[in-house]
Structure 1
Amino acid sequence: MPAHGRPESGGALPPAAVALMLLLSAVWGLNMVAVKVTSAGIPPVLQAGLRSLVAAMVVALLGRLLGMPFGHWRRDGTLPMGLLAGAIFALEFIFLYVGIGLTTASRAVIFLYGAPFWVALGTHCLVPGDRLTRAKAVGLSVAFGGLLLAFADGLRRPAGPDALLGDLFCLVGGALWAATTVLVKTSSLRRAPAALVLQYQLVVSVPLLLLASPLLGEAWVLHPTPLVVSAFLYQAVGIAGASYLAWFWLVSRHSASRLAAFSVLTPVFGVLAGALLLGERLGPGFLLAVLLVAFGLWLVNRPQR
C-alpha cells in the first residue's frame, strides 16, 4: 500500500492516469529542446546540478502551498533508500549528459528510452501484480519499433569515434532511470509521500552533480541570456519540479511498467517540438512511427483477461 492508505493498482491505467502521462510525455519532449538551448549558456552537468537545486526549492514551495505532506523522514525508515535514490538520480544524469556529448542525439534517444524494458523486467521480478505479460512484451516491442522508425534518419548518419562509448553511457542512464522507478516500488519509499520521494533525489543529487561538473572538466562560465534562463527555468520548475512530482505520484498508485511504457512518447513529442520550434525536418515515416507507438501503448495498457 502506498502512503496514506491509497490503493495501488497493477491493472490497466485509468483514463485520468493515461491523460496525465500523455501530458507529462509532451512536457518531457519539450525538455529536450530546453536542454539544447540551455547548454548554450550553462555546461550540461552543472546545468543538471543547478536544476536540482532550484527544483528542490520549487517542490518545497509546492508542498507548502498545496498541503502535500513530506512525511517524517527522520522516523519513517525511508532515509537510507532515499539517499540511494538520490545517488542513482545523480548518476543517471551524469551518464546521460556525458553520453550525449559522445554520440548522436538519435542514438542517445534510442538507448535512453530502452528504460521501459528495464522497468518491465524489474517489476516482473520484484513487484507482485506487475508481471511482464505477453501483451506487455509485444506492446513494448511495437512501441519501441515505432521509436526506431521515428529516428531512422538520424540513426543512418555517421557517428563520431566515441559513439559506442556514448551509446553505452546512454544505455546505463536509461537503466539508472528504470532503477529509480523500481526502487521506489520495492523499498520503504513505496510508503512515502511523492513529495518526499522526489525531494530525496533532488537534494542528494545537488552536491553530487555540482562536484562531478568540474571533475568532468566543465568550466563554470555562464552566459545567461534571456532565452537560456527561460529554458533553464522550464527545466527546473516545469520538469524537475512539477512534472517529476506528478510522475512519482502516479508511480505510487499505478503499475510502474505500464506508466514507463508511455515514456516512449517523450522523444516523439520531442521530434514534434523540434519541428515546430527549431524548424527541424520530420522524416517521411514519422506518421507511421506515431501509429506504431500508439498501437504498442494500447497493447501494454489493455486490461488483462
Structure 2
Amino acid sequence: MIAARKGADLFLFQVMLLLCAIWGVQQVAIKLAAPDIAPLMQVALRSGIAALLVGLLMLWQRDWHGWLGITWMGGLLAGGLFAVEFFFIARGLQYTSASHMAVFLYTAPIFSALGLHLLLPSERLRTLQWLGIGLCFAGVAVAFGAGMSWAEMDRRMLLGDAFGLLAGMAWGGSTVVVRRSRLSEAPPTLTLFYQLFVAFVLLLGYAAAVGQLGPLRWTPISIGSVLMQGVVVSFISYLTWFWLLRRYLASNMAVFSFMTPLFGVTFGVLILDEPLSLNFVVGAVLVLLGIMLVSNHVWLRKQLAAWRPAA
C-alpha cells in the first residue's frame, strides 16, 4: 500500500524544477527544428516513439490486462483530445512564437476546472478560483488585443495564439475525460499509452492525408528535437510526474508546475531571440496569476490561514 503523500521538500523542488524546464523547452525545440521537419510530423513522431516505450513498459509490468475492456472508450476520447491538443500546438507554432505558445497552452487548468465544475459536484469552483479564471481571461484579452496594429505579422501571430488557446482547451478537456471515466482508476501507464498511441495514429494519418509529411531532413537538430520530445518529454518526464503524484500532495506539485510557462518564455527569448511586447508581458502575468489561483487555491488558502493573526 502507498504511504501517505508527503508535502513539499527539497527533492520535490529539484525534480519539479527539472521537469518544468523540460516542459518549457519543448515548444522551443519544435520551433527550432521546424525548417528541417514539419511541426506536425514532429508531434506525430514523438507520440509514436513514446507510445512504443510506454507499451514495452506495460508489457513488462503486466498490470493493465483487466482494464482494457472498461477503459477503451474513455481512452479513445482522451487520446483524440490529446491529438487535437498537439495538432493545434503544431499549427500554432507556424504562426506564433514559442513564448506565446508556452503561456496560452498552459491555460489548460482553467478549462479543466470549468469542465469539472459543471460535471462533478465535488469539484465546484471556490471564490479564489473564480477570481483566477477572471484574471486569466482578462490576461488573454490583453495579450490578444492591447496595442495590436493588425499588420500581417500581427494577424498571423493572433491566429497562432488562438491555436495555442485551443490547444489548452483540448488539454483541459482530456483531463476532464480522465477524471470522469474509469481511466481515473486505471494504471497511469495505460492512460498515457491511450493518449500517445491514438495521437500518433491520428496525427500521422492527417499529415499523410493533407500532404504535410515534409519537409523531412534528418539533421542533428531535427533528430535531437524528435528524440528529446519522444524519450525525455513524453516518456521519462510524464512517468516521473505520475511517480511523484503517488508520493507527494498534488496541491504542492501544482504550485511548482507554475514555473513551466516561465521557462517556456525564457527559453523562447534566449534560444530563439523572440521579442516580447508590453501587452503580451502584462497579459501573460495576468494569465499566470489566474492559473496559479485556480490550480493552487487549496495551498493558497492554507498559507492565508497560517499568516492570519491569532484571534
TM range (shorter): 0.7 to 0.9
Tell me the secondary structure at the aligned position of residue 123 of structure 2.
Answer: coil
**37-46 or 119-128: bigger deviation:** 119-128
- The equivalent residue for 2:23 is 28
Distance 2:133 2:20 in 1: 16
**Aligned partners of 2:236 and 2:194: how far apart in 1?**
15
Work out whether residues 135 and 286 of structure 2, in 8 Å CA contact, stay in contact via their aligned partners in 1.
no
Q: Is the 8 A contact 1:102 1:160 kept in 2?
A: no
Q: Could you give the per-residue CA deviations for residues 63-103 of structure 1, whole angstroms, max 9, x where no partner exists?
A: 56xx7554125655111111111111112211232233244
Q: How does 1:50-69 map to 2 (within 5 A)?
A: 50-63=45-58, 68=61
Q: Which residue of structure 2 lines up, in the alignment, with residue 79 of structure 1?
A: 72
Match of 1:236 in 2: 230
Listed one character per residue, the Cα deviations across residues 87-122 of structure 1 (whole Å, up to 9, x for unaligned) are: 111122112322332445555445433222101112
Q: Which structure is higher in helix share?
A: 2
Select the residue among 186, 189, 200 that pairs with 1:206: 200
Q: CA deviation at 1:290?
A: 7.1
After TM superposition, list the pairs within 5 Å mapping 1:147-296 onto structure 2.
158=151, 159-161=153-155, 165-248=159-242, 264-279=258-273, 293=288
* 1:159-201 alpha-carbon deviations (Å, 9 max, x no partner): 3545555444332221111011111111110011111100011
State how far apart, in whole Å, the 1-side matches of 2:122 and 2:72 are.
26
| Structure-1 separation of matches of 2:26 and 2:253 | 19
Tell whether the 8 Å contact from 2:79 to 2:195 is kept in structure 1 after alignment: yes
Shift of 1:256: 7.8
**Which residue matches 1:99?**
92
Cα contact 1:190–1:252 (8 A) shared by 2:
no
Shift of 1:145: 7.3
Gaps of 5+ in 1: none
Per-residue deviation at 1:253? 8.5
Question: Is 1:37 equivalent to 2:35 in the alignment?
Answer: no
After superposition, the Cα gap between the structure-2 partners of 1:258 and 1:148, relative to the gap in structure 1 and judged at 3 Å, is farther
Question: In the aligned structure 2, how far is the partner of 1:70 from the partner of 1:98?
Answer: 36
CA distance in 2, matches of 1:74, 1:295: 36
Q: Using the TM superposition, name which of 142-151 and 121-130 deviates more.
A: 142-151
Q: 1:153·1:283 contact (CA, 8 Å) conserved in 2?
A: no
Would the aligned equivalents of 1:49 and 1:209 in 2 still touch at CA under 8 Å?
yes
Question: Residues of 2 paired with 1:162 and 1:291: CA distance?
Answer: 23
Q: TM-score scaled to structure 2, two decimals?
A: 0.74
Query: 1:162 & 1:279 partners in 2: Cα distance?
Result: 18
Distance 2:246 2:174 in 1: 13
Separation in structure 2 between the aligned mates of residue 175 and residue 259 of structure 1, nearest angstrom = 21
Equivalent AA in structure 2 for residue 87 of structure 1? G
Larger radius of gyration: 2
SS state of the match for residue 118, structure 2?
A: helix
Counterpart residue identity of residue 75, structure 2: G
Q: Does the 8 Å contact 1:70/1:195 carry over to 2?
A: no
Instruction: Write the distance in 2 (CA, Å) between the matches of 1:80 and 1:193.
Output: 16
How far 1:126 moved relative to its partner?
2.8
Question: Structure 1-normalised TM-score?
Answer: 0.75
Give the total of aligned pairs.
296
Secondary structure, aligned partner of 1:101 = coil
Q: Structure 1 residues 109, 90: closer, same or farther in 2, change over 3 A?
A: same
